[in-house]
Amino acid sequence: MKKNLIFFGSSQFCLPVIESLHKNFNLSAVITQPDKQLGREQKLTANPVKIIARKNNIPVFTPHNVAQLLGLKIQLSTFKPDLAVVADYGLIIPKKIYALPKFQSINIHFSRLPEFRGPSPVQYTILYGLDKAFVSVIKLAEKVDSGDIIWQKNYPKLNPQSETSSSLYQKLFSAIASDLTSFVHDYLSGKLIPVRQNDDEITSTYKLDRQNGYLPWLYFRKAFLNQPLTLNKKEFPKDSAIYEAMAKSVNPAQTIERAVRAFHPWPGVWTILPNYKRLKIITAHLDNQKLVPDVVQLEGKKEVAFKQFLEGYPEFHLLPASSKAAKSSL
């Protein structure tokens, strides 16, 4: 008899996981994010997880907050779940819910825990130039990403010089989906014994907002001109992921190039020119340790090749090095 599972997840990247669960187990229920208003017409739109669940006649629940999630306890208990699988869901799941299934709940996290706890492990994997991407499956616990480790595996990045967070998320979800049935069966049968995380090895990631993509003009200019960089933390926003990575790097220009890929599509890497206009670096590459933008987007304009941007902005090379204007507009 197939085990009863429930799934918590919301992004399009989750689809290989939900498809694997539906194929190999009795997927009794799906909990996902509510419909959102999208597009110019702000039409209320279901996310891909909800769409595929409904297509397969799987009951779907869309709580707006933790209080509403707690309100689902009685309904979820009627499914008599053996296990809940969580991946890219969006709400912190309270113990009264994650402890409901017979074997409680497991979470899929894309790092070698306890490294890169928190909401942005894939982005940090690229930002710090790691050679391999890891997946950890852990028991859910009250403290985020602190649960005992059930299973870990490393997956080589196929394009280490061009990987973006969106492409790596897609690859890792597809990879974990192929291993999902095996390790879930092994866990439920007692073959996999959870191991406590080593608290001495914890590193953390942060939720990335738009300010995390800010690169002071001075540092962009020097990386572009291949000039030496001396970091000043005060020039960056508080808890800047870019600053932290640059401070640990022997090649700050390379870190900026990695940030462009790591923060694609959100929040992106952007600077503010001394004339107060925002410039977003869409793609870039390194040429002999020099940062070379490939595609950029000036505030209020469309994306263009950097060469085309320079043709319409010939004074770019003459802009002053001062970043005071940029900092004052944050």
Structural domains in the chain, CATH included, are: 1-103 (3.40.50.170), 107-206 (3.40.50.170), 210-328 (3.10.25)
Q: Are 113 and 121 in contact, with CB atoms under 8 Å apart?
A: no
Q: How far apart are CA 143 and CA 141, in angstroms?
A: 5
Q: How far apart are CA 270 and CA 145, in angstroms?
A: 30
Q: Smallest Cα–Cα separation from 258: which of 109, 135, 122?
A: 122
pLDDT tens for the 330 residues of the chain, in order: 899 999 999 999 999 999 999 999 999 999 999 999 888 888 899 999 999 999 999 999 999 999 999 999 999 999 999 999 999 999 999 999 999 999 999 999 999 999 999 999 999 999 999 989 999 999 999 999 999 999 999 987 667 778 999 999 999 999 999 999 999 999 999 999 999 999 999 999 999 999 999 999 999 999 999 999 899 999 999 999 999 999 999 999 999 999 999 999 999 999 999 877 999 999 999 998 899 999 999 999 999 999 999 998 887 776 776 655 444 444
- Residue 112, SS3 per DSSP: coil
Q: Smallest Cα–Cα separation from 180: which of 85, 115, 116, 49?
A: 85
Please give the full DSSP string across 10-63, using - where no structure is assigned. Answer: -SGGGHHHHHHHHHHSEEEEEE-PPPEEETTTTEEE--HHHHHHHHTT--EE--
Q: How far apart are CA 1 and CA 223, in angstroms?
A: 60
Q: How far apart are CA 170 and CA 168, in angstroms?
A: 5
- What pTM, to 2 d.p., does this model score? 0.93
Please give the full DSSP string across 193-235, using - where no structure is assigned. Answer: PPB---GGG--B-----GGGGB--HHHHHHHHHT------GGG
Determine whether 80 is exposed, middle or buried from the number of CB atoms within 10 Å of its CB (0-12, 13-18, 19+). exposed
